[in-house]
A = this chain, B = another copy of it.
Amino acid sequence: MRVATVSTHDIRFPTSRELDGSDAMNPDPDYSAAYVVVTADDGSEGHGFTFTIGRGNEVCRAALDALAPLVIGADLSDLGGFSRRLTHDSQIRWLGPEKGVMHLAAAALINAAWDLASRTAGKPLWEFLSGKSPDEIVDLVDWRYLTDALTPNAARDLLTSAFAGRAERSQHIREIGYPAYTTSAGWLGYPDEKIDRLARQAVADGFRQIKLKVGADQTDDVRRFARARAAVGPGVRIAIDANQRWDVAEAIDWMTVLAPYDPWWIEEPTSPDDILGHAAIRQGLAKAAPDGGPIRVATGEHAANRIMFKQFLQAGAVDVVQLDACRVAGVNENIAILLLAAAYGTPVCPHAGGVGLCEAVQHLSFFDYVAVSGSLDDRIIEYVDHLHEHFTDPVVIERGAYRAPTAPGFSTRMRPESLVRYAYPEGAAWN
């Protein structure tokens, strides 16, 4: 089965009208998708996208159009090769390499190919991946630049040792679901009363962790965090997220002020490129929690590629790996990141939210539990209650957990009417 056609779409939702998704760096996002449909020569379709927050989505679409000729005719039974076609093109590589707009577009195309392949197999992506042998999984990864931290052989050993328990874990995770936390309560643009109400509601809904946005104003942060802590009580974890707002010393100082409210982790305290900065912050917060333990450091939603994740782990710079389904080069590069994190014993708690990121990334965490790390310890997937209605197979959340996806594919397909209504700039939603 080979790729016959590629079509691209610029889809945007006017979310800035409600301040949904507002944080210290992103005050007014219009959640958007550079969306791609890959059609095989037998007529079957795969849908994928990358997520943006508005302006520039058209540049990602232009990048998809630039990449499309590289995959016309590509063999959809070799998705390692498919992925490398997109990331190794000698001329396009200059524009990164493996970062920014071109890499976002590669993610969309690679994810569309996986949607197609898993649909064709009649399985949800996580099951499709979890049925592959350790050798097959190792072959999906681009090992270039990773071997000083993890070799293909070591990865194969890791996967092989997890092999025996796959069936049991698969059954277990279908029964209990994968733990979720909610960010819906804590957007920076929300008034205090709304945060109180949503935080209480989250606990009532079964969430054991919530997340607050911080970093714009310290006095506001203290007040909002104190209220949220009072609302949920001491037993619920509150993660906080600065969205890259601080320099290194500022991060440590600011977190020392917020420490009494017991943050579970601080997410994106500084530049997502600053590996050594995160390491310094993590060291500075190693004894900052109320019990004298660490405040954990989390990052990943803006980490450009597997080489950055490798270094975050090598440098001891993070406690929590927050991979994103659509920032790095799709399923293949995320498998590399899951393997690296497992090798370093660091939990993966994916970034989600936006448009369709929950739908996509859940598959990676289910696969991680079944076939890679084999652990749920301190693992949890972000959940944001926005825009799920636009997908044909939306996530199902029950009692604070993602239910195992059951529909074939990667859950990345938008409803046809949404693709029309939110097409930018011509769709009805933008008139």
Number of copies of chain A assembled together: 2
Given contacts A102-B101, A274-B311, A276-B275, contact A95 B145 (CB under 8 A): no
CB neighbours of A26 from chain B (8 A)? 90-91, 93-94
Given contacts A90-B27, A91-B53, A99-B99, contact A148 B62 (CB under 8 A): no
Is A244 on the interface with B (CB-CB < 8 A)? yes
A26 to B94 Cα, complex, angstroms: 9
Given contacts A145-B247, A147-B248, A315-B276, contact A59 B91 (CB under 8 A): no
Contact between chains at A56 and B66 (CB < 8 Å): yes
Contact between chains at A59 and B95 (CB < 8 Å): yes
Is A55 on the interface with B (CB-CB < 8 A)? yes
**Which residue of chain B has the shortest Cβ distance to A281 in the bound complex?**
B148
Contact between chains at B302 and A97 (CB < 8 Å): yes
A101 to B93 Cα, complex, angstroms: 11
CB neighbours of A270 from chain B (8 A)? 145
A56, A147, A248: residue with the most chain B Cβ atoms closer than 10 Å:
A56
A314 to B249 Cα, complex, angstroms: 16
Distance between A37 CB and nearest chain B CB, rounded to angstroms: 20
Contact between chains at B145 and A274 (CB < 8 Å): yes
Among candidates B25, B101, B314, residue contacting A63 with C-beta atoms closer than 8 Å: B101
CB neighbours of A59 from chain B (8 A)? 59, 62-63, 66, 95, 101-102
Among candidates B52, B97, B146, residue contacting A244 with C-beta atoms closer than 8 Å: B97
Distance between A170 CB and nearest chain B CB, rounded to angstroms: 34
Is A92 on the interface with B (CB-CB < 8 A)? yes
Contact between chains at B101 and A148 (CB < 8 Å): no
Is A272 on the interface with B (CB-CB < 8 A)? yes
Contact between chains at B56 and A102 (CB < 8 Å): yes
Q: Is the interface of A mostly helix, strand, loop or mixed?
A: loop
Is A222 on the interface with B (CB-CB < 8 A)? no
Contact between chains at A104 and B95 (CB < 8 Å): yes
CB neighbours of A55 from chain B (8 A)? 66, 89, 91-92
Is A162 on the interface with B (CB-CB < 8 A)? no
Contact between chains at A271 and B307 (CB < 8 Å): yes
Among candidates B25, B91, B144, residue contacting A56 with C-beta atoms closer than 8 Å: B91
Among candidates B28, B58, B148, B276, residue contacting A314 with C-beta atoms closer than 8 Å: B276
The 0/1 profile, CB within 8 Å of B marked 1, for residues 72-101 of chain A is 000000000000000001111111111111
Contact between chains at B275 and A311 (CB < 8 Å): yes
CB neighbours of A148 from chain B (8 A)? 247-249, 277, 280
Contact between chains at A305 and B273 (CB < 8 Å): yes
Given contacts A55-B66, A59-B95, contact A144 B100 (CB under 8 A): no
CB neighbours of A249 from chain B (8 A)? 147-148
Among candidates B93, B244, B247, B315, residue contacting A25 with C-beta atoms closer than 8 Å: B93
**Which residue of chain B has the shortest Cβ distance to A63 in the bound complex?**
B59
Among candidates B147, B276, B280, residue contacting A247 with C-beta atoms closer than 8 Å: B147
Distance between A230 CB and nearest chain B CB, rounded to angstroms: 31
Is A304 on the interface with B (CB-CB < 8 A)? yes
> What are 25 A-B pairs at a CB distance below 8 A?
A26-B91, A28-B90, A52-B94, A53-B90, A54-B91, A55-B66, A55-B92, A56-B66, A58-B66, A59-B59, A59-B62, A59-B95, A59-B102, A95-B100, A95-B101, A96-B99, A99-B100, A100-B102, A100-B103, A101-B102, A273-B305, A274-B311, A277-B307, A277-B311, A304-B304
Q: Which residues of A come within 8 Å of B, CB atoms? A: 25-30, 52-56, 58-60, 62-63, 66, 89-104, 144-148, 244, 247-249, 270-277, 280, 302, 304-305, 307-308, 310-311, 314-315
